[in-house]
Amino acid sequence: MSIANGELDVEPLNYQEITRRLIATLGPTLVATLAGSKDRKALLEWAKFDGSQPNPESLPRLACAYETWRKVAEAEGEQVARLWFIGGNPWLGESTPVTAIREDRLEEVGYAAQALVDDAFSG
């Protein structure tokens, strides 16, 4: 999956693997929040091979978060990427990327990540 010009393009990772990777990098609380789940334990079930499936609204949020994580971490490193996800962002009206993803503002998150990456490589 990739976000190019704000458009989501799905890569052949399943939601269990995406969920596992996000939990490993952002932690279960942030991943549950961005996915729109009120139950952290449900999120842990999504990560299991034979666990429950996320609701349909959560799937694009997880995909967006994963691709955005990869993009930002590649450009700035994992510590900066984690901070970027939880910090107010001017490209998102000072909302955090976690909040914007939960609110399904996925295209805006893609543009905000690209703005960070573009600045990282031009400076």
CB under 8 Å to 71, separation ≥6 — which residues? 3, 113, 114, 117
CB under 8 Å to 96, separation ≥6 — which residues? 85, 86, 87, 88, 89
Exposure string of 94-122, with b = 16+ CB inside 10 Å and e = fewer, is ebbbbbbbbeebbebbbbbbbebeeeeee
Q: Which residue has the higher pLDDT, 119 or 67?
A: 67
What pLDDT, in 10s, does the model give residues 37-96?
A: 988 888 889 999 888 889 999 999 999 999 999 999 999 999 999 999 999 999 999 999
pLDDT confidence tier of residue 121, bands split at 50, 70 and 90 = low
Query: Is residue 8's pLDDT more than 80?
Result: no
Q: What is the pLDDT of residue 51?
A: 86
Asked if 88 and 96 count as a contact pair (C-beta separation under 8 A), the reply is: yes
What pLDDT, in 10s, does the model give residues 84-93?
A: 999 999 999 9
Q: What is the pTM of this model?
A: 0.85
Q: For the range 94-103, what are the long-range contacts, defined as Cβ-Cβ under 8 Å and sequence gap of 24 or more?
A: 97/34, 97/68, 98/30, 98/33, 98/34, 99/34, 101/34, 101/61, 101/64, 101/65, 101/68, 102/33, 102/34, 102/35, 102/36, 102/61
